[in-house]
Amino acid sequence: METMNGINKPTKEEQKAARESYNPLEATLEKVKNENPEIEILETKQKIRIPLKALNLLAKILKETGEGNPVSIYPVSTELTTQAAADILGCSRPHLVKLLEEGKINYTKVGRHRRVKYDDVMKHKEKMKAQQKKLLEEIMNSDEETGLYDS
C-alpha cells in the first residue's frame, strides 16, 4: 500500500484483488449459518475458525479497497489524541478542543493531554450529519414554499 499523509491508499493491484474477491465472499457469507465458520488457506492447507462478524467486516474492507478507498480500523474503545479525533471529524484541532471544553464530546485527561474515545467521536459525527440533513431539508422546504425550488 502507498502512504499519503499517514493514510494507506490501496495500490492498483490491491484494488483489483479486492474487487475480484468481494462478490464471491459476499455471496458465500450469505449462505453461512455458523457464527464461527472455518476457512482454509489453500497455500498452507491451514484451517482457521473466524467469527462471522469478522468475515463480514472483511467483506466491507474489500469493497472499500476495491473502490480505491483507504481503510482504517479502530476498536470502538480506542482513545484518540485530539489531532486524530479532529482528523476524523474533518475539523481543526483547536475547534475540536472547543467542542470538548463545551461538553459536546466526552473526553478524559491524561496529565495535560486530552483523550477522546473513538466511539464518542463517531457519535458526534453522526449527530452532526443528522443536523446537517435536517437543515438541508428545511432549506429545501422553504425554497419550495417560496417557489425558488421546483420539486
Whether residue 122 is contained in a domain is answered as yes
Residues 86 and 123 in one domain: yes
d(CA 147, CA 151): 10
Domain-located, residue 72: no
Under the phi-then-psi rule, with left for phi > 0, alpha for psi from -120 to 50, and beta for the rest, what region is 107? beta
SS3 39: strand
φ, ψ dihedrals at 27, nearest 5°: -65, -40
* Residue 105 and residue 48 share a domain: no
Overall number of domains in the chain = 2
Say yes or no to pLDDT of 126 above 90: yes
Residues 139, 103 within the same domain: yes
Domain span at residue 60 reads 2-66
If you average pLDDT over residues 87-110, what whole number do you get?
95
Q: Give the global pTM.
A: 0.59
Is residue 96 within 8 Å of residue 82, measured between CB atoms?
Answer: yes
Local confidence band at 77 (pLDDT 50, 70, 90 cut-offs): confident
